[in-house]
Structure 1
Amino acid sequence: MALSACATTTSQTPLPEAKNLALGQQAYADGPIVQPVEVLEDSRCPADVMCAWAGRVRVKMLWIRSGGRQQEFEVTLGQRTQLADGSILLERVTPERRSAAKVIKPADYRFDFRFDGGY
């Protein structure tokens, strides 16, 4: 009886870049692997209204570390947050708020991140 060896390869889908991320989606952010978990605050001024204050967006995040360990942290749109050997920036949040739509559904949010560090 002849035995044949079959080579099996497992191809793991690479993580996307940290652009246009949905809540719960993991991505590679130029170094760390991050995951937006929850919108803690979205007080942005609607795009079709003039406001005295632009408002802000705060997002609860996970940093997925080696061995699968997870560390929580928080980011604010336009502000750098220390992470690992650098800092991460939440660059963009979509969709924009509109005066006619009072609430944005969590599933509709998308986030762009940039990590600077590791020098």
Structure 2
Amino acid sequence: MLSKLKIEGIIKVESGLHIGDSGEFAAIGAVDSPVIKDPLTNLPIIPGSSLKGKIRTLLAKTYNNDSIGSKEAINNDDPRIKRLFGATPKDENEPIIIGRLIFRDSILSNAKELEQLGAENYTE
């Protein structure tokens, strides 16, 4: 039987957080790595891909025996990590393992509260 499980949470930022956008051109004196923002609200967001990468890295540190960042570590993930995040085969005879997780962007939840406090900018 197949089922879906939704996991939700709140990320409390206690220090500066910067997930930069790739600026193709930056003039002298300009900000060369702007913060990623929602195009509709212009509020900062944490992309789902950033959350996915961080969680995968933490799981790899916990469950993989190889050193993180080595070429061997990429192909020798623990089966639990491969099952969740997917994997490409080492050779043509092995099947592709399809990832089972979906990560969504995280939005700022207290924007109205910050606005009431007089915040004009949501980044440092």
State the TM-score, normalized to the length of structure 2.
0.20
Work out which structure has the larger RCO, using CA pairs closer than 8 Å and 6 or more positions apart in sequence.
Answer: 1
Structure with a larger share of its residues in helix: 2
